[in-house]
Amino acid sequence: MTFKSREAIRLSDGRELIYFNEEANDWSSYPDTRQLPPPPPTSQLRYDPLIDEWVAVAAHRQTRTFMPPADSCPLCPSKPAFASEIPAPDYDVVTFENQFPSFSDRVLPGEITEVTGLVPVRPGVGRCEVVCFTSDHTSAFVELPPSRVRTVVDALADRTGEMSRMPGVEQVFPFENRGVEIGVTLQHPHGQIYAFPTVPPRTKLMLAAAAKHKARTGGDLYTDVLAAERADGARVIGSNEHWTAYVPAAARWPFEVHLAPHRKLPDLPALSDQERDAFGPLYLDILRRFDGLFGRPMPYISAWHQAVVGEGRELGHLHLQLFSIRRAADKLKYLAGSESAMGFFVNDIVPEKAAQLLRDAA
C-alpha cells in the first residue's frame, strides 16, 4: 500500500468515512459538526419476470444534491463557512457511504415481499460509497500524478476487499462518471463503488459466455481475447510490462478501451505492487488521448469489472472498461430505440478507426 495511514470515522448520521493519507496527517480528529437526519432505508429490489432481472427502486434518491455551486460542494474539505461531507480541512483520497445510496444495510421494518405473484420484492441490501480522488474541486482524474492514481487504486482495493465480505453482496463495482453529458450531479472529481445485492445483467452475460467458452475449449475467455488482441495489435492503444489497453473488436461505444492486466486476476486486491504502479501511467495516457481527440474534456464512464463474490468467481478476469458517448466534436451517441428498447447496439465508428484516432491523439 502507498498510503501512510487509513483513518475511519463516523459522520453525524452514523455513516462511515475513511481517509487514505499519503502523509502522516491526523484528519480523524475533525468531527462532523452537522446535525444530519438518519440515513434513508435501503431500496427495494423488484424482480422483472419477463427478462429475469432485478430492478432497484430508490425513491429517496430523487432528493439528492444536484449541481451545487463550488462554495457549497459537499465533496470539498469543510471550511468555517460550510461544513461538507468531509469534516477535515484537507485530504488526499477519501471514501464514505453515500448519503443517497442505491443499496445499503438499513432495511425498512415490514418491507413488502411481493407486488404480484410474479414479482417478488426484497430489500436492496448492499453498500454504496463515494470516492473523492483529490480535495481540489477544479481538478480532474486525468490531472492526477501517477502516485495519486496508485493511492486511488489502493483505496479501491481496500474497499473491494471489505465490501466483498459483507453479507448479501454479490459483486463490487467501482466506477467513475465524468461530464455533464454523462449525467454527473457533482462537479468535484469523484467516483463511486457499488456493492450489488445481485449479479448485474452484464456480468451474468459475461459469466455465461465464459462458462460456454471454457466448456468448449477448456480455456479462459477473457485471457484468450486479451492474447488475441495483443497478438493482432490493430486495436492496441498502449501497453507496458503488466497492462495492455485496446479497443474491443466488437466495441459498442464510439470510443471504448479496455485496460487489462496480463495476469488473470479476480479483482483489485489481487494486484501486485508492480501491477498497481504500472496501471497509473498507462491509464493517464489513455485519458489524455480521450481529451485530445476533440480538443476538449471527454465525457466518459470508467468501470472496473471484477469477479463475482460467489458462484462463478473463477471465471472473472479483472479489467477496466473506459468509454465515451461522444462520437464527434459536436455529436453525442444517444441510446434510442434499438439500444434502449432492445439492447442491440449500433456503433457509428469502426473499432479499428477508433483505435487509430486514439493512437494519433497524443
Report residue 93 as a C-alpha cell: 483520497
**Which of these, 91, 85, 130, lies nearest to 7 by C-alpha position?**
91
CA distances from 249 to 52, 230, 243, 335, 352 (A): 28, 12, 18, 20, 8
Q: What is each CA distance from 273 to 91, 104, 157, 270, in whole angstroms?
A: 23, 31, 12, 10
Element (H, E) at 213: helix 201-217
Catalytic residue among 137, 188, 190, 319: 190
Q: Which residues contact 22 (CB under 8 A, 6 or more apart)?
A: 2, 3, 4, 92, 93, 147, 148, 151
Interatomic CA distance for residues 283 and 47, integer angstroms: 37
Burial class (CB in 10 A: 0-12, 13-18, 19+), 334: exposed
Alpha-carbon distance of 39 to 106, in angstroms, equals 8
Sign, Cα dihedral of 74, 61, 100, 156: negative
Is 137 in the active site? Answer: no
**Do 238 and 286 meet the contact criterion of CB atoms below 8 Å apart?**
yes
Phi-psi category of 214—alpha, beta or left, where left has phi over 0 and alpha has psi -120 to 50?
alpha
- Going through 189-261 in order, the beta strands assigned E by DSSP cover 190-196, 236-239, 243-246, 255-261
DSSP labels, 168-199: T--EEEEEEEESTTTT-S--SSEEEEEEESS-
Q: Phi first, then psi: what are they for 61, rounded to 5°?
A: -75, -10
Which positions are catalytic?
190
